[in-house]
A and B are shown apart, each in its own frame.
Chain A
Amino acid sequence: MGLRVLAVDDEADFIETLVKRFTYRQIPVTAAGNGPDALALLERESFDVVILDMRMPGMDGLAVLQEIKKRHPLVEVIILTGHASVESGMQGMSLGAYDYVLKPVDFGELLEKAKKAYERKKLNESRADA
């Protein structure tokens, strides 16, 4: 399958593990350490699913999500968060996030969600072409 993932998190260790695990499953994954880097990458390359950390210094996850949805409405975003804030969860979902997941996340579950999000993007695209 052609799923391409962009993982955005300021925690280098976490993102390294994530990259390793996706790579092990032979899913192309690119890492970005902050919001602006992620947005720049999205301009240059195409991705299907963005895994986005909520709390990052500078541009926070919600702001990045908003930009992504504005510039690339078809790209699906899964938000990861370290602390359950219902408020930001509501905001995230209403801004068009595919899902809002609490850390620590089971990788199998995350992979499943990423695949579902990818399936959704494909469905959306096939309709756009029809």
Chain B
Amino acid sequence: MNPEPTPDAPGPLPGDHAPPLWPHTLLAPGLAGAAVLSALAAPPLVGVGLALFAGAICIGSALTLARRVRRGERELHELDVRLLHSQKLAAIGELSSGIAHEINNPLAIITQEIDLARELFGQDACPAPEDLADIKDCLDQVGKQVARCCQITHKLLNFARKMEPVLQEEALEQVIEDMAVLVEREAAGRGVAIRRDYDQSLPPVRTDVPLLRQVILNLLTNAMHATPEGGTITLATCRQNGRAVIEVRDTGCGIPPENLPKVFDPFFTTKEPGKGTGLGLSLSHGIVARLGGNLTAQSAVGKGSVFTVSLPL
């Protein structure tokens, strides 16, 4: 018998090829089983020794596997971070090639016009009177193209500013209700009721309304998907410590405690592959932060979850 059935190197492994699994799935259980079986037939003292040996094999194998799982998780997390980064870079790349293309055309025209004007000015820098009108045309064209460039940069600035929230006063109840109506029919089809518990005395909030709608729709959709037939989603608003608070409560399956800290992580999803991007809650979390608020989650498995948005008043 081999004394050490799990010869896995604990040090750094080549990243591209995972070590084989058969020592853990076949060799270790086989050896342990053989040791236990022979312990039955052997004299008591040898039997204890063999049982201890079987235990050692199992522990060794389990430790090695646990190490591999942990390393895998770490790699996955790094991959997520890198993916997010590369998506950002791709977006920037697309944007800048677009700008370059848009600006290059007017620049090409400006270059041509300036060349032509220089030629018309002639060697002694004194244009013939009949060329003056052409030179004026050149200058006009240059002016027009500069205006075009201004328009492009202006649009871009608008686009960049578009990313910042635009604050408007709006009744919170109205913002929530718009999205609730949208979800209600589908929820009713699934046998899920939507209850309202709005605080009527809540003053209007100053916030970016479309962004907040996006968050609420996302929370509502999640709640609907988590809630089985006969369940209820409750939409509530209230005032707490000088902030406006929105709660989306469901009587759904709940989130296991080990998953709760991860729900706002990008790409974290418990849906089947292809069903969810794992981006909804992380986007919502980012939006609420941009609005100066907090998005938090509480949950009890089997009882349901509460997502709470708190916004400045």
Could you list which residues of chain A lie within 8 angstroms of chain B, going by C-beta atoms?
73-74, 84-86, 89-90, 93-94, 96-102, 116, 119-120, 123-125, 127-128
Contact = CB atoms under 8 A, between A and B. Distances in A.
Given A84-B182, A101-B178, 14 more contacts: A85-B186, A86-B182, A86-B183, A90-B217, A90-B221, A94-B214, A98-B209, A116-B170, A120-B210, A123-B168, A124-B161, A124-B162, A125-B158, A127-B164
B183 A116 contact: no
18 contacts: A73-B159, A73-B162, A74-B158, A84-B182, A84-B185, A86-B221, A89-B182, A89-B217, A96-B210, A98-B209, A99-B210, A100-B178, A120-B210, A123-B168, A124-B161, A127-B161, A128-B154, A128-B161
A89 B280 CA distance: 13
Interface residues of B, number: 30
What are the 8 A-B residue pairs with the smallest beta carbon separation, nearest first? A93-B214, A84-B185, A128-B158, A73-B159, A89-B182, A123-B166, A98-B210, A73-B162
**Interface SS of chain A:** helix
Contacts of B283: 94
Contacts of B162: 73-74, 96, 124
**Interface SS of chain B:** helix
B93 to A, nearest CB: 17
Contacts of B185: 84
Nearest to A81: B182
A97 B210 contact: yes
A121 B266 CA distance: 31
Given A93-B214, A101-B178, A128-B154, A120 B183 contact: no
B178 A99 contact: yes
A116 B206 CA distance: 13
Interface of B: 154-155, 157-159, 161-162, 164, 166-168, 170, 178-179, 181-186, 209-210, 213-214, 217-218, 221, 224, 280, 283
A120 B170 CA distance: 12
B159 to A, nearest CB: 5
A116 B214 CA distance: 17
Contacts of A84: 181-186
A106 B166 CA distance: 26
A73 B184 CA distance: 31
Given A93-B217, A124-B162, A100 B182 contact: yes
Contacts of B218: 90
A73 B155 contact: yes
A102 to B, nearest CB: 6
A85 B186 CA distance: 8
A86 B210 contact: no
